[in-house]
Structure 1
Amino acid sequence: MTTVNPLTDGTGAATILMSPDRSSARPESAPAATEFTTRIAVGLIGMLFASLLAILNEQVTAAAMADIQGALLIGHDDGTWLTALFEAANVATMAFAPWFGVTFTLKRFTMGAVLATMLFGLLCPLATNPAMLYVLRILQGIAGGCLPPMLIIVALRYLPAKFKLYGLAGYALTATFGPALGTPLAALWTEFVDWRMAFWQVVPLGVLCCIAIQKGLPADTAKLERFRSFNWIGFVTGFPAFAMLVTGLLQGDRLDWFGSELICAMFGGGALLLVIFLVNEWFQPVPFFKLQLLARRNFAHGLATLLGTVTLLVGLAAIPGQSLAAIHGYRPLQTAPLSLLLAVPLLVTLPLTSAFLNTRRADHRWVIATGLSLMFGTCVMGSFMTSDWIRNNFYLLQSLQIVAQPMVIMSILMGVTTGLPPTEGPFASAMFNTVKTFSAAIATALIQAMGTAREHFHSNMLVDQLGNRTAAMSSGVYGHDALGQLAHRVHEQALVLTFADLYRVMACVAIALLFLVPVLPVRIFPPWSTTPSSK
C-alpha cells in the first residue's frame, strides 16, 4: 500500500502553506497560532451548537410541513415551494459563507447568522400570506446556510493536532445526529406542544450559541479590505446557479421534469451559470472554490464519496419513515423511535470512531470500506421488505447504521482535511459543505423520481396480472367493497415493491463507492503524526 505524509497532497508533494490566492497572487499570512484553552473550547461548543441549530431548523420544519401547511391553510403544491426555496437559498449560501466569515471575522459573522436565523424563525409563523412566508423562508435559508461551514474552519484553526479528529466528529454530528433528531422533535412539537415551535425552537439554542461564541472565541480584526478584490463574477454566477439547480431538482418530480418549461429553464440556466462559475474560479486569484485542491487524491476522493454517501444517508433515513407512512399511515410520532435509535448511540460511536482513526494503526481506507459494506448490507436486507413490515422490522437496519455512518463520514472528513493548513480551511469548507447539501437535493430528487416511476410501473404490472379477473368482476362475483379492497391491496403492493427497489438503488450506490476505495485514496496518518516514523 502506498503511504504518504499527512502534510502532503496525496501525491507525495509537500503542502505549501500558501495564501488562498494562486501562486501568482500576493500571499496572505496564516492566522496567528492561538493557545487552546477552556475558553476556546467553550467557543467551539458554541460553533457546534450553531451548526446543529441550522440543521435542526431545516429538518424539523421539513418533517412538520404537513402540520405547518394545515395550520397556515397552504395547499400541497404551494407547500412544496416552502421547502424548495429554503433549500435553494441554503445550498447557494454555503459556497460563499466562508469568504464572508473570514472577512467579517468568524465570531461576528456566526453570531450575526444565528441572530438572523432566530429572527426569521420568530416571524415565519406570523406570516399573513404564502408570499410573505416564502420570503421569510428564503432569508432564513440564507442565514442558516452561513452556519455549518464555519465549524470546519474553526476546528482546523483552533484545535490542536491531537484533537482535530474529535472536532471533526462534532461536525459529523450535524450530518448524522442532527437529521436523525428532525422527526422526533417534529413529533414532539406538533403532537404535544404547538406547531409554531417547529420554527421557534431555534430561539433558546440560538441564545446559548451566541453566549458561548461571544465568551469563547477570540475577537479577530475584520478584513474589510478584502472587498477590493471581491470575486463579483463568481458571486453573481455561482449563487443563482446553485439556487436554480436545487429548485429544479426539488420541483422536478412534481412538475414532470423536462415536460415543464420552468424546470427546463432552471436546469438550463443553472448549468450554464455553473460552468461559467467553475471556469472563473479556476483562474480567479481569490476564488470561493479552490479547484486546484482536487489535484489531491484524498480530497478528490472525499468529495466524490461524499456525493454518494449523502445519497445513502438521505435514502436510508427516508425510506423507513416514508414506507411506514405510505403503507400503514404512520405519523412522525410513530416513526420517531426509529430515528432516536440511530441518533442517541451516535453520540458514543462517533467519538469512538474518531479515537480509532486517531491512532497510527488505523487505515481510513479500510474503515470507510467497512462502513460502506455495512450500508450495502442494510440495503440488501431492506430490499426484502414486505407489506407486513412494521416499525420493529426496521430496527436491525437502523442498528447497522449506528456503526456504519461514523465510519464513512469520519473517514471522509479525515481524508479531506488532513494536511490542510488553516489558510486553506475556508476553501475546503466551502467546497465540502456545498457538495454535501447539493448532494442531499440530488438524493431527494432521485428518491422522488425513482419512487414515482417505479410505483407507476408496478401498479401497471399488477393491474395487468389481474386482467384475467375482469370478467368475474364485471359479472358481479366481486361486490363494490371487494373491488375497493382489491384496489387498496394493489396500491399497497406497488408501494412495497417501489420501496424495495429504492433499497436496491441505494445498494448500487454503495457498491460504486466501494469500487472507488482501492483506486483513489492513499494511506494517511492522523493529524498529530507528522511523519511515518513518528511515535
Structure 2
Amino acid sequence: MTAPEPLSGSARLWGTIALSTATFMNVLDTSIANVSLPAIAGDLGVSPNQGTWVITSFAVANAIGVPLTGWLSQRFGQVRLFVASVLLFVAASLLCGLAPNMGMLIFFRAVQGFVAGPMIPLSQSLLLSSYPRALAGVAMAAWSMTTLIAPVAGPLLGGWITDNISWPWIFYINVPVGVVAALATWGIYHKRESTRHKLPIDKVGLALLVIWIAAMQVMLDIGKEYDWFESPLVVGLGVTALVGFALFLVWELTEEHPVVDLRLFARRNFWSGTLATSFAYALFFGSLVLLPLWLQQFMGYTATDAGEVLAPVGLFAMILSPIVGRNVGRVDPRKLATFAFLVFAVVMWMRSNFNTNADYATIVLPTIVQGIAVAFFFIPLVTITLSGLAPHQIPAASGLTNFARITAGAFGTSISTTVWEHRAVMHHAHMAETVNAASPAAQSTFSSLAASGMPPEAALAQVNRLVDQQAFTMAATDLFYFSAVVFVLLVPLVWLSKPQSSAGSADAAAGAH
C-alpha cells in the first residue's frame, strides 16, 4: 500500500490543529500537576513526598506504553490507535478527577500515562503524512510549538485551577479537549488508515520491562520512608529490578521480534545522544518538581505563584526553537547541544545561590534564562541521536530514546525529592546544635519572641520552623549546585558522537519526527 497523498487547504489546517491539540493535552499533563502536588497531597491526606507518585506513576507508565506504539499501530492501524489512545486518555483523566484517595489517583494516573504512550509518536507520523516532504519542517515547527507551550501552560494553568477552583479540574479539562480532538482526527484521517499486520508481540520482553521499571520506581519512591536498604521490602524491590533488567537485556538482544530494539545501542551516536538526553532530562525534570515544592512549602508561595515562576521558561524557548530548527543542518549539532548544557549549568548555579530572602525577580530570572537552554537542547540532541539511521529504523529509535528520556525524568523526580529531604535532615541537625543556651543569637531570638507574648513552647516551635525553612532551602541549593556540575560533565558525552554532514543532520532532524 502506497502512502496517502498529502492533505491540502482547510483539511490540512484542521488536521494539524486536531493532532497538535491532542499532543498539547498529553504534554500538558506531564507538568500540570507539579504545582498542585501540595494541594492534592493535603486533600487526600498524604505527605507531599508521597504526592510525587502522581507525577512518577504517569511518567513510568507512559515510558512503558511508548515502545509498544510500533507493534500496536501495525496491529490496529495508526489512525484507529491514535483516536483510541486519545479517548482512553480522556476516560482516565475523568477517573483521576473522581479519585477518592491517593491510591486510586496514582492507579488512574498510571492508566492515563500508559494509554497516552502512542499519542506523541503517532501525532508526528500522521502530521508528516499530511504535508508534502518539502514542507516537513513547517509541519514539525507547528507540532513542536505545542510541545513547548504545554509545559509552560501546565504549571500556570494548574496553579490557577488549584487556587481558584479545585485540583480535580486539572484533569476534567482534558475531557472536552480530548473528545473534540479525537472526533476531528477521525473525521479527517479515517480514510487514510495505515496497513495493518498481525505481528507477534514479545510478551516475555514486555513483562520483564514492566517488572524492572515498576520495581525500580517503587523502590525509589518508598525508599526514604522505609529507611532504604535497612528494609527487606526495599532490598527485595532492588533485587527484582536488577534481576529483571538483566533478564530483559538478555532476552531482548536474542528475541527475533523484541518489544524494544536494544541493538540500536550498537551505534555510537544513538547511545551517546540517548544517554546525554536522558541524564540532562532527569536533572531538568527533577528541578521542575523540586522548585515549586520548595516555593510552596517554605517560601509562602501559592500554587499560582509557583506556576508563574515556572512559566517563563517557554519565553525564549518559543522564540529560539524555530531558529535552531532552521539552522541545525548548517551548524554542528554537538556545538548547539554543548551550548545548551552550559546554559543549563549557569541556570542551576544561579539557583544554587538562592536563600530564604530571595525575592520574586531573583527566583524567576534563572527560569527565563533556562528557556534559552531548552531551545538548544531537544532539536540538536534528537538530530545527533537519530543521525545515520535508515528510515525504517527511525520509529523504533525514536520510541526507544523517548522511553529512556521519560523514564529518566521519573527517576529524576524520585531521586531529587528523596535527596532533598535527606540533605534537609542533615542541615537541620547541624543548625539545631547551635540553638542552645550558649548561643547569643538563639537567646536573642527567644527573648524577642517572649517579649511579644509568645509562650516558650510556641517560641520553640517558631524557631524550629525557621530552622526547617533554612534547612530545606540549603538542601535545594545543594541539589541545584550538583546539577550545575553534572551538566558541565555531560558535555564530553555529546562529543563522543560522530560529526554528521549537513544533509545527514537535516535528514535526521526530519526523520526524528
In structure 1, the residue matched to 2:358 is 389
AA in 2 matched with 1:32 = T
Q: How far apart in 2 are the matches of 1:195 and 1:116?
A: 21
Q: Name which of structure 1's ranges 146-155 and 334-343 shifts more when overlaid on structure 2.
A: 146-155
AA in 2 matched with 1:262 = L
In structure 2, the residue matched to 1:52 is 24
8 Å contact from structure 1 (residues 353, 410) kept in 2: yes
In structure 1, the residue matched to 2:314 is 343
Q: How far apart in 2 are the matches of 1:439 and 1:530?
A: 27
How far apart are 1:168 and its partner, in Å? 5.0
8 Å contact from structure 1 (residues 248, 267) kept in 2: yes
Q: Name which of structure 1's ranges 485-494 and 129-138 shifts more when overlaid on structure 2.
A: 129-138
For residues 496-519 of structure 1, give each alpha carbon's deviation from its aligned partner in whole angstroms, at most 9, with x where no partner exists.
Answer: 211111111111220121122333
1:309 to 280, 292, 302: 280
For residues 174-210 of structure 1, give each alpha carbon's deviation from its aligned partner in whole angstroms, at most 9, with x where no partner exists.
Answer: 7654333222111222222343311111112212321
Alignment of 1:51-200 (within 5 A): 51-71=23-43, 73-76=44-47, 79=51, 82-128=54-100, 132-154=104-126, 162-164=134-136, 167=139, 176-200=148-172
For residues 424-470 of structure 1, give each alpha carbon's deviation from its aligned partner in whole angstroms, at most 9, with x where no partner exists.
Answer: 23311321221111111121122123212211221222223445626
1:517 to 480, 494, 508: 494
In structure 1, the residue matched to 2:394 is 425
The alpha-carbon distance between structure 1 residues 157 and 304, as it changes in their structure 2 partners (threshold 3 A), is farther
For residues 275-299 of structure 1, give each alpha carbon's deviation from its aligned partner in whole angstroms, at most 9, with x where no partner exists.
Answer: 2222222122222222222232221
1:406 to 370, 375, 392: 375
8 Å contact from structure 2 (residues 7, 131) kept in 1: no
How far apart are 1:323 and its partner, in Å? 2.7
Percent of aligned pairs sharing the same letter: 22
Q: How far apart in 2 are the matches of 1:472 and 1:371?
A: 44
Counterpart check, 1:207 vs 2:176? no
In structure 2, the residue matched to 1:322 is 293
Q: How far apart in 2 are the matches of 1:280 and 1:476?
A: 64
Consecutive unaligned residues of structure 2, counting only runs of 5 or more, are 451-455, 509-513
AA in 2 matched with 1:304 = L
In structure 2, the residue matched to 1:36 is 6
AA in 2 matched with 1:381 = M
AA in 2 matched with 1:463 = A
Q: How far apart in 2 are the matches of 1:196 and 1:142?
A: 20
For residues 49-83 of structure 1, give each alpha carbon's deviation from its aligned partner in whole angstroms, at most 9, with x where no partner exists.
Answer: 32332222343234324434555x44338755555
For residues 28-48 of structure 1, give each alpha carbon's deviation from its aligned partner in whole angstroms, at most 9, with x where no partner exists.
Answer: xxx734443334564354333
Q: How far apart in 1 are the matches of 2:111 and 2:500?
A: 42
How far apart are 1:121 and its partner, in Å? 1.8
1:463 to 413, 416, 432: 432
How far apart are 1:303 and its partner, in Å? 0.4
Q: Secondary structure at the match of 1:523?
A: coil
For residues 93-144 of structure 1, give each alpha carbon's deviation from its aligned partner in whole angstroms, at most 9, with x where no partner exists.
Answer: 2222332123211111011011011112223333456655454333223212
Q: How far apart in 1 are the matches of 2:333 and 2:476?
A: 32
Question: Scaled by the length of structure 2, what TM-score is found?
Answer: 0.86
1:219 to 181, 192, 195: 192
Q: How far apart in 1 are the matches of 2:356 and 2:56?
A: 31
TM-align CA RMSD: 3.1
8 Å contact from structure 1 (residues 47, 150) kept in 2: no
The alpha-carbon distance between structure 1 residues 402 and 485, as it changes in their structure 2 partners (threshold 3 A), is same
AA in 2 matched with 1:500 = T
Q: Name which of structure 1's ranges 370-379 and 275-284 shifts more when overlaid on structure 2.
A: 275-284
Q: How far apart in 2 are the matches of 1:256 and 1:331?
A: 31
Which protein has greater RCO, CA pairs closer than 8 Å, 6+ apart?
A: 1
Q: How far apart in 2 are the matches of 1:230 and 1:48?
A: 29
Query: Whose helix fraction is larger, Structure 1's or Structure 2's?
Result: 2
Q: How far apart in 2 are the matches of 1:327 and 1:339?
A: 17
8 Å contact from structure 2 (residues 344, 373) kept in 1: yes
2:407 to 434, 438, 441: 438
Counterpart check, 1:489 vs 2:458? no
8 Å contact from structure 2 (residues 334, 384) kept in 1: no
Alignment of 1:275-286 (within 5 A): 275-286=246-257
Q: How far apart in 1 are the matches of 2:102 and 2:416?
A: 27
Alignment of 1:350-389 (within 5 A): 350-358=321-329, 360=330, 362-389=331-358
8 Å contact from structure 1 (residues 302, 412) kept in 2: yes
In structure 1, the residue matched to 2:476 is 499
Q: How far apart in 1 are the matches of 2:21 and 2:79?
A: 14
How far apart are 1:221 and its partner, in Å? 4.5
Q: How far apart in 2 are the matches of 1:364 and 1:344?
A: 22
Q: How far apart in 1 are the matches of 2:297 and 2:96?
A: 29
Q: How many residues align?
A: 496
How far apart are 1:484 and its partner, in Å? 4.2
Question: Scaled by the length of structure 1, what TM-score is found?
Answer: 0.83
In structure 2, the residue matched to 1:3 is none
8 Å contact from structure 1 (residues 86, 138) kept in 2: yes
8 Å contact from structure 1 (residues 98, 149) kept in 2: no
In structure 1, the residue matched to 2:421 is 452
For residues 183-242 of structure 1, give each alpha carbon's deviation from its aligned partner in whole angstroms, at most 9, with x where no partner exists.
Answer: 21112222223433111111122123213422444533452421xx32122122112222
How far apart are 1:530 and its partner, in Å? 7.2
The alpha-carbon distance between structure 1 residues 337 and 212, as it changes in their structure 2 partners (threshold 3 A), is same
The alpha-carbon distance between structure 1 residues 320 and 470, as it changes in their structure 2 partners (threshold 3 A), is same
The alpha-carbon distance between structure 1 residues 469 and 174, as it changes in their structure 2 partners (threshold 3 A), is farther
Q: Name which of structure 1's ranges 436-445 and 466-475 shifts more when overlaid on structure 2.
A: 466-475
In structure 2, the residue matched to 1:254 is 225
The alpha-carbon distance between structure 1 residues 517 and 436, as it changes in their structure 2 partners (threshold 3 A), is closer
Q: How far apart in 2 are the matches of 1:521 and 1:157?
A: 30
Q: How far apart in 1 are the matches of 2:327 and 2:64?
A: 35
